[in-house]
């Protein structure tokens, strides 16, 4: 059950973490900036784009990757002869404390959720991979169907754990054809789901005061169904996104083109918390809180992308870990790990 190498980073996971961060900020910024429901045409179009292609998709990727990281951390710690469960429990506790502080600024934050479900998932590490896979799929189907977004990370963590047990990301070249087939199937289902979801798209402009009771109920149902259907089919779209990135990374050309995502993902914790910090600083400094439109939030996100991508690349040129990753590692092992970059570092 041990990985073939207890130190080597799996670059594909860093690319995927970086990709997930790109979508998470787009969903978080409206609440942080107190953006009102869209009224103008371009704001409405952008809001629908988020609901169709972003909302619920990227947190699924992040949750799945957390499950893989869960497997890698414990299996590698065990291979080094360390007290793996104690270390991981301490790691989760630190993550929980970080999340509680972050929750004060971002009520929709995810670190506390990951820490809680990480503790719940600990016993499943010893389960057979087939059991984790089956339980994960069943629970994911139930939570997605009923729109229980807050509970979805647990089955996703189990599926990530199962993927780690199957060594999926350690032997991608061996599974390339299977990944391509699954990606194509997930892509077809996703496209069909987007057309189906569009059938429930709410009217652009409505005058609630002039609506009959039946019209108002139909309009409310459309709004609820539009969001619910998106969440129900999000796992398929997320799998399609991940499969596409994984397949692209099999090409050296795309590894170079997507290289900024690798550094971005290696500092996922720092950049996730940094997104909230930058949004709030920009919002208060320029008095944008409550005065921003949906489409305008996109330009702020793009600016934050550029800053964080450049910062991540520059930081990792000189240091082994991101700032928050370094603190997290320090608290986990109760030692002060060397921060300065001297050679290619591992997990």
pLDDT digits (tens, 9 = 90+) for 113-165: 999 999 999 999 999 999 999 999 999 999 999 999 999 999 999 999 999 99
Nearest to 201 by CA among 184, 222, 220, 182: 222
Answer whether 13's CB lies under 8 Å from 61's CB.
no
> What mean pLDDT is predicted for residues 270-294?
96
Answer whether 152's CB lies under 8 Å from 233's CB.
no
Q: Report the alpha-carbon distance of residue 156 to residue 184 in Å, rounded.
A: 21
The per-residue pLDDT for range 214-273, each reduced to its tens digit, is: 555 665 677 788 989 999 999 999 999 999 999 999 999 999 999 999 999 999 999 999
Average pLDDT, the chain: 91
3-state secondary structure of 340: strand
Answer whether 200's CB lies under 8 Å from 118's CB.
no
Considering the chain, what percentage of its residues have pLDDT values greater than 70?
91
Q: Report the alpha-carbon distance of residue 19 to residue 21 in Å, rounded.
A: 5
Residue ranges of the alpha helices (H) in the chain?
11-32, 41-53, 58-79, 84-105, 111-121, 129-145, 153-165, 176-198, 213-232, 234-248, 252-257, 259-266, 268-285, 294-318, 323-333
Question: How many other C-beta atoms can be found within 10 angstroms of the C-beta atom of residue 238?
Answer: 24
Long-range (24+ apart) CB contacts under 8 A made by 40-48 are: 40/293, 41/204, 42/295, 43/293, 43/294, 43/295, 44/204, 44/294, 46/294, 46/295, 46/298, 47/294, 48/201
> What mean pLDDT is predicted for residues 43-71?
95
* Angle ∠(164,165,169) on CA atoms, nearest 5: 35
Question: Which structure tokens are listed for 280?
Answer: 């709030």
Question: How many other C-beta atoms can be found within 10 angstroms of the C-beta atom of residue 331?
Answer: 16
Indicate the pLDDT class of residue 347, thresholds 50, 70 and 90. Answer: very low
The per-residue pLDDT for range 83-103, each reduced to its tens digit, is: 999 999 999 999 999 999 999
> What mean pLDDT is predicted for residues 52-69?
96
Q: Report the alpha-carbon distance of residue 92 to residue 69 in Å, rounded.
A: 12
Q: What is the pLDDT of residue 175?
A: 85
Indicate the pLDDT class of residue 212, thresholds 50, 70 and 90. Answer: low
Q: Where does residue 109 fall: left (phi above 0), alpha (psi -120 to 50 degrees), or beta otherwise? A: beta
Q: Report the alpha-carbon distance of residue 242 to residue 246 in Å, rounded.
A: 6
Domain limits, the chain:
11-333
Taking CA atoms, 283 is separated from 24, 35, 99, 104, 164, in Å, by 18, 11, 21, 16, 40
Taking the alpha carbons at both ends of the chain, their separation in whole angstroms is: 18
Instruction: At 45, give phi and psi (nearest 5°).
Output: -60, -45
Q: What is the pLDDT of residue 4?
A: 41
Q: What is the pLDDT of residue 170?
A: 85
Q: Report the alpha-carbon distance of residue 130 to residue 75 in Å, rounded.
A: 17
Nearest to 98 by CA among 244, 270, 255: 270
Q: What is the pLDDT of residue 326?
A: 96
Q: Tell whether the model's pLDDT for residue 7 goes beyond 70.
A: no
Answer whether 14's CB lies under 8 Å from 65's CB.
no
């Amino acid at each position: 059950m041990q990985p073939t190498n207890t130190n080597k980073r799996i670059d594909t996971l860093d690319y995927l973490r970086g990709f997930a961060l790109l979508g998470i900020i787009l969903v978080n910024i409206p609440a942080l900036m107190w953006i009102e429901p869209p009224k103008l045409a371009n704001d409405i179009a952008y809001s629908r784009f988020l609901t169709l292609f972003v909302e619920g998709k990227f947190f699924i990727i992040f949750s799945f990757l957390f499950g893989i990281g869960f497997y890698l951390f414990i299996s590698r710690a065990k291979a080094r002869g360390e007290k793996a469960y104690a270390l991981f429990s301490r790691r989760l506790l630190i993550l929980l404390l970080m999340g509680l502080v972050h929750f004060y600024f971002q009520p929709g934050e995810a670190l506390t959720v990951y820490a809680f479900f990480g503790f719940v998932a600990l016993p499943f590490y010893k389960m057979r991979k087939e059991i984790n896979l089956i339980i994960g799929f069943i629970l994911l189907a139930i939570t997605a169907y009923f729109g229980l977004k807050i509970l979805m990370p647990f089955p996703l963590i189990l599926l990530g754990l199962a993927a780690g047990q199957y060594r999926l990301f350690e032997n991608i070249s061996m599974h390339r054809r299977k990944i391509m087939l699954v990606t194509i199937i997930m892509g077809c289902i996703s496209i069909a789901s987007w057309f189906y979801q569009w059938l429930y798209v709410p009217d652009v402009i409505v005058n609630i005061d002039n609506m009959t009771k039946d019209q108002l109920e139909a309009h409310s149902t459309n709004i609820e169904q539009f969001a619910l259907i998106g969440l129900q089919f999000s796992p398929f779209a997320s799998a399609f996104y991940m499969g596409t990135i994984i397949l692209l990374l099999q090409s050296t050309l795309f590894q170079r083109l997507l290289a900024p995502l690798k550094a971005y993902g290696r500092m996922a914790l720092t950049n996730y918390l940094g997104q909230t910090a930058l949004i709030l600083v920009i919002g208060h400094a320029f008095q944008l809180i409550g005065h921003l439109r949906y489409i305008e939030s996109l330009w702020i996100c793009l600016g934050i992308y550029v800053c964080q991508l450049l910062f991540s690349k520059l930081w990792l040129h000189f240091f082994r870990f991101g700032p928050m990753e370094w603190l997290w590692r320090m608290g986990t092992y109760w030692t002060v790990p060397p921060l300065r970059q001297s050679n290619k570092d591992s997990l």
